[in-house]
Structure 1
Amino acid sequence: MSRSMTPNAAPATTKYTLETGRGPVQKPSLRAGLQRLLPLMAGERVHVIAAFTALAISTAASLTGPVIVGRTVDHYIGAKDYPGLVSSSLLLLGVYLAGVFASYMQVRTMGSVGRRGLFRLRNSIFTKLQELPVAFFNQNKAGDLISRINNDTDKLNVFISQVLMQFVGSMVMITGAGVFLLALNLRLGIAALLPAAGAMLVTRATSTWVKQRNLRSLQTLGGMSSEIQETLSNFKVIVAFNRTDYFREKLNTANQKNFLASIGAGMANGVFMPLYGWSANLAQLVVIAYGIYLIGAGHLTVGLLIGFLLYVNSFYMPMRQLATVWSSFQLAVAALDRVHEVLVLESNLPVIAAAQAESDAVLTFRQVHFHYPGGKEVLREANFELEKGKAYALVGPTGGGKTTTASIMARLYDPSQGSVLLNGRDIRSYQPEERARRIGFIPQEPFLFSGTVRDNLLYGNPDYQHYSNEQFAEALERANLSALLARFPQGLDTAIAASGNSVSLGQKQLIAFMRATLRKPDLLILDEATASNLRSGPDLLTASKICARFFLPRGGRADAASA
């Protein structure tokens, strides 16, 4: 038997620590960033086209306004043509009202697109997390993962529903206004655009720095979420040892890091607004000074200068909006980096093809080695067979690898070397659902979901989902589990609080035992704490009867073996 893993399988000790952004941050590409954001709008083509159509109408209305104003000044005000002035004013009002309505429709449409994109993205992340092995969750804090699902995806939602169209609209408006400025008067137009060129060079030079600050802010927010989650999850221990001061200091440190990182991100994001404001003021000063000179020389009319100033405002106002949008874009790209880091992960527990072999053993370890990432070897050349119809006990000192062995038996991990066979077949060749049906596993600390006893039993046995309480109770009685169910005052309807805090540890173990044995697996694995919590006479006797009914041949007996 070869001691190496299948070449196509990822090693069991895959490092799953999420570390994106802790090293050098690459300079964000506008095109690359948008290309990574566009898949979030998959299936929204009709709505996106409608939003862009509304955006085009709104932009066209804004660009038409200055032409009407300039024409009105030159042709109607100077000539005191009041009917023409009224008609021109009504036309201008109609154009602006059309622009406002189109803008409203665009915001409403893209808001819906963003919310649906957020819904799909959160589902994708949660689905991916469910596909990842236990090793991933051992190496990453739950609080940081929650922050990625909630906070980071919310940043993307804001970008898609609000910022993206502002970005596109600003770019279109800037382009249109720039074309009009150059078309009305080439020399005056060039003079008006020069301050913008300088501001854009500064923006390009500082984009990496801004992204670094935003990414650091998101990372510290995830760290603070981890500290909060860890503190709330272990509050009983904190109170029991009177260490609230210690955890308060830890949370204060995490909060301080997030505060400083947020200040840094705010300072970075705040650079652009005054920069573009200063550019706009400088451009207006240049246009007014040069425009007055051209009017005096007879090369420009007053109405044309007013229209020109309006176009300068139409050019620089979106640029100031673009400064805010660019900061939001950097934040969205940083958030997408953290989300993308989770979505691209692959499980290191693939399903492989393997031939079936005849075996009297329900489970076999062949030359199994195992070590955790960065740790020393826990198992070395482990070899044993568990025969069908027998009970076994694995005995050893604390830290000797008993729980690790049980986890490998249930394929929560794959060995670093060697192989594990279930009923004569490589355990890696079983689909997860089939493996779960054949192996029942009760960990040292069983986890219960909020709800009722029935809900927690159905969690591991969906085949009984359609059963009424009476039918389900009968099924439990046929499985010899009714005596254990009687330990709960309201039976199947006994309420279970969050994390099972409303029941004792022994009752948690009873529910976990019923949940596992109701599946009638080929192999039942009870971690050491299970045995210690079932030592009361009636519970232990009942559990022994259930195990004998399911796992021992008729007339057989349980043999204990120690290793």
Structure 2
Amino acid sequence: MPTPASESDTTRQGRGLRARLQRLDTNALIRLSRYFRPHLRAGLVAVVTMIAASLLSLTLYWMIKSFFQPILHGGTVRALTRVTLIVLGVALARSLAMCGQIYFTNLVGQRLVADLRQQVYAHLMRLSVGFFDSAKTGELMSRLTNDMAALQVMLVNTVIEMLSAPLMIVGGTVALFCLSWRLSLLACLCLPLTVFLIRRAGMRMNWAAAQSLIKLADLSEVMQERLSAIRIINTFGTQDVEIATFRDRNTEAFRARMREARVQTGLLPSVELLAALGLILALWFGGREALAGRVPAESILTFAAMVQQVYSNVRKLGNVVLVLQQVSAAASRLFTLLDEVPAIQDLPDAERLERVEGAVRFDHVHFNYTGGEPVLRDISFDVRPGEVVALVGSSGAGKTTVASLVPRLYDVSAGSILVDGHDVRRVELLSLRSQMGVVPQETTLFSGTIADNILYGRPEATPEEMQEAARKANAAEFIEGMPESYNTLVGERGVKLSGGQRQRIAIARALLRDPRILILDEATSSLDAESESLVQEALEILMENRTTLVIAHRLSTIRKADRILVLQQGRVVEEGAHDELMAREGHYAKLYSIQTGRKSAEELARPPAAAPA
């Protein structure tokens, strides 16, 4: 149960968070504005056409006085026609200016969002694997979709108002004071209260927008996770449970969106009401002045139209303030992602690793994941070029971690890993990883054709090289038996293919890459006997003359390994060939016996335990 002190701390932290979110994140907006720089020419055209459209709009309202003068003061039809044609010409010019304004504003806004989306995606591709160990895929997807979509709509739809509304307000106010300073003061009486309401609503909108984006990210996470596990959900018959879970998250997202709507609902009608009050006051006083003959009637009509225009733009500016809060919240989340620094990067003086022989050395390696317990403790071993070394051990012993350190998916906590005598931390990542191939336990295929997936290993390969790789991987027969052959679509993650077919395509991909160092993560553990035989044959071809690390879960598959490293609690406890390790009757022999159902000679000779009395 929390103490009063801890409750007070939590309350203060919550208030602090809310206070930060209620402030406009000007840094995010400044950073966002830098994305306009590559599009300054189109932006300049947008600004010029916007200024032209705004000035022509003010001109139209000002010309109301000229339009009514011949009507109210006994003018001629010819004079009225001349004024009408002038007004029509101004209206046409304004329409053309608005076309340019809308097109070029959209052009700049869409380009900006496309540039930012590209940068965020490219940054995600360069982040280290460790980042994705803790990040939620659904939330990342939400930032690339929901946050980016919010920016796109807000920027494109409000940039015009953000630029034109202040100009219209200033220009309209100047025109009002030119018509009558006394009427203008009356009309502006409600402006201070309007500004206060806009500022207060803006603070509330920032909080509401941030919460809305968070809830949408939670909703995306649920959708991504559940849809990727749809087979499990159907198998367990938990559709109703998942529907209820989604309903709860969907309701939270709806309520967050409605908080934004309530802020807008409170502000915009209030601004309209204040505008109406200011106009009514001005018209009442102006009407008295007109009746007394001190102000021409056409000036009152022009004044009324101009006041309406000024307050309309005040309302638009209020909406811009709310939208800027939403833009600030979305941009802040995106820039937080862009500020993530990849944990694994090339050193400034990193050297390029040329074609290697394939020697791998672990020299007193220690490793732990961020904030976790040590996973590897003082691991040391050598792998000769072309040698096949199997890593075995119980779950959590560190087998996958050892294999992940070779291509430098993570950096060691202490010690070093060397490839052909080069510390992997001191060579260029791309040149290191280009020497390696991976065949994972759960094969990853991309939606597209079979050819696309095989060529992923080496996109510049010729069709003949691709087909030769498929033949060596025992995949050519089933591929060429399909109606579209290598152009057959595999579906999302290869769902249209069997497990064995996916594995053989993965092996063909690795063969085409022609790596010097190969990492196999028990590539046959989930296959039927026939598929396993074909895959095993393909793997033997793949492993020829290549340094190979095999992460083995089924010990019967690695009896032919040149050497076996037995890991237990992050340490190498045994090392040797299969027969040698079996003869020792140590940890490996025990694991092997358990998996194969065999008992050691010592266990067979041991007398059975006496039955309890």
Q: TM-score if structure 2 supplies the norm length?
A: 0.80
Q: Which residue identity lines up with residue 559 of structure 1 in the other structure?
A: D
Q: Indicate if the aligned counterparts of 2:447 and 2:490 stay in contact, CA closer than 8 A.
A: yes
Paired-residue identity, %: 29
* Cα 1:476/1:531, change in 2 over 3 Å: same
1:182 partnered with 2:177: yes
Q: Which residue in the other structure is 1:16 paired with?
A: none
Tell me what 1:211 maps to: 206
1:498 paired residue number: 492
Deviations 1:459-508 (A, max 9, x none): 111230xx23x45324655xxx1534335444644541211111222322
Aligned to 2:79: 84
Aligned equivalents of 1:548 and 1:514: distance in 2? 14
Structure 1 residue 347: Cα displacement? 1.0
Kept in 1: contact 2:22–2:207 (CA 8 A): no
CA contact (8 A) 1:392 1:559 kept: yes
2:362 is paired with a residue of what secondary structure? strand
The whole-number CA distance in structure 1 between the counterparts of 2:118 and 2:352 is 37
In 1, the alpha carbon distance for the partners of 2:227 and 2:17 equals 27
Higher RCO, 1 vs 2 (CA within 8 Å, ≥6 residues apart): 1
Query: C-alpha separation between the residues in 1 aligned to 2:381 and 2:197?
Result: 68
Contact 1:370 1:416 in 2 (8 A): yes
Question: What is the distance in 1 between the residues matched to 2:122 and 2:322?
Answer: 30
Partners of 1:30 and 1:226 in 2: CA distance: 26
Q: Contact 2:366/2:378 (CA < 8 Å) preserved in 1?
A: yes
Q: What whole-Å deviation, never above 9, does each CA across 1:246-268 have from its counterpart, x for those lacking one?
A: 22222112111101111111112
SS of 2:504 mapped into structure 1: helix
Q: Which residue of 1 aligns with 2:539?
A: 543
Between structure 1 and structure 2, the one with the greater Rg is: 2
Q: Return closer, same or farther for 1:258/1:27 CA change in 2, 3 Å cut-off.
A: closer
Aligned to 2:341: 346
Aligned counterpart in structure 2 of residue 417 of structure 1, from 410, 414, 418: 414
Q: Tell me the amino acid that sits aligned with residue 452 of structure 2.
A: D
CA deviation after TM superposition for structure 1 residue 551, in Å:
4.3
Name the amino acid aligned to 1:78.
Answer: H
Name stretches of at least 5 consecutive residues in structure 2 with no aligned partner. Answer: 1-15, 549-559, 567-613
- For residue 302 of structure 1, what is the aligned residue in structure 2? 297
5 Å matches for 1:245-284? Answer: 245-284=240-279
2:514 match: 520
Query: Distance between the aligned counterparts of 1:49 and 1:361, measured in 2?
Result: 57
Are 1:166 and 2:157 counterparts?
no
- Correspondence for 1:387: 384
Match of 2:367 among 365, 370, 377: 370
Mapped contact 2:363–2:417 kept (Cα < 8 A): yes
Whether 2:288 is the aligned partner of 1:285: answer no
User: Which of 436, 440, 460 is equivalent to 1:439?
Assistant: 436
Matched, 1:404 2:401: yes
In structure 1, which of residues 470, 473, 486 is the aligned counterpart of residue 477 of structure 2?
486
The correspondence of residues 30-41 of structure 1 with structure 2, limited to 5 A, is: 32=27, 34-41=29-36
Q: TM-score, normalised by structure 1?
A: 0.87
8 Å Cα contact 1:174-1:319 kept in structure 2: yes
Deviations 1:386-444 (A, max 9, x none): 22222111111112222122212222222233322222112123323312221222222
Q: Residue 456 of structure 2 aligns to which amino acid in structure 1?
A: Y
Residues of 2 paired with 1:113 and 1:251: CA distance? 37
Is 1:122 the counterpart of 2:122 in the alignment? no
Deviation at 1:526, TM superposition (A): 1.0
1:17-59 deviation line (CA, Å, top 9, x unaligned): xxxx976534555965653332333332222222222212211
Taking a change above 3 Å as real, the CA distance of residues 549 and 532 of structure 1, as seen in their structure-2 partners, is: farther
Paired with 1:128 and 1:27, the residues of 2 have a C-alpha distance of 28
Counterpart Cα distance in 1 of 2:352 and 2:235: 53
CA distance in 2, matches of 1:463, 1:316: 62
Match of 2:448 in 1: 451
Please give the alpha-carbon distance, in whole angstroms, between the structure 2 residues aligned to 1:433 and 1:406.
Answer: 17
> What is the alpha-carbon distance in structure 2 between the residues aligned to residue 408 and residue 305 of structure 1?
80
Taking structure 1 as reference, are residues 426 and 532 closer, same or farther at Cα in structure 2, changes over 3 Å only? Answer: farther
- Which string of whole-angstrom CA distances, capped at 9 and with x for unpartnered residues, describes residues 61-91 of structure 1? 2111233222443465223433322222222
Give 1:560's aligned residue.
563
Q: 1:52 to 1:163 in 2, by over 3 A?
A: same
**C-alpha distance in 2, partners of 1:68/1:495?**
65
* 1:224 positional shift: 1.0
TM-align CA RMSD:
2.7
For 1:527, the aligned partner's letter is D
1:106 to 101, 104, 107: 101
Say if 1:291 and 1:88 are closer, same or farther in 2 by CA, change over 3 A.
same
Deviations 1:95-124 (A, max 9, x none): 222212211221122222222223222222
1:560 maps to amino acid: R
Gapped regions of structure 1 (runs ≥ 5): 1-20
Retained in 1: the 8 A contact 2:366–2:412? yes
Q: What is the alpha-carbon distance in structure 2 between the residues aligned to residue 360 and residue 332 of structure 1?
A: 53
Q: Distance in 2 between matches of 1:228 and 1:148?
A: 14
| Corresponding residue number in structure 2 for 1:325 | 320
SS in structure 1 of the partner of residue 96 of structure 2: helix
Q: Is the 8 A contact 1:454 1:493 kept in 2?
A: yes
1:148, 1:339 within 8 Å by CA — same for their partners in 2?
yes
| CA separation of 1:551 and 1:34: change in aligned 2, threshold 3 A | closer
Give the distance between the partners of 2:466 and 2:352, measured in 1 at CA: 35
Q: Give me the whole-angstrom Cα distance separating, in 1, the residues matched to 2:66 and 2:238.
A: 76
Structure 1 counterpart of 2:184, one-letter code: G
Matched pairs, number: 532
Residues 211 and 331 of structure 1 are in contact (CA less than 8 Å); yes or no, is this contact kept in structure 2? yes
Contact 1:389 1:558 in 2 (8 A): no
Per-residue CA distance 1:200-236 (angstroms, 9 max, x = gap): 1221133222111012112211211121111111111
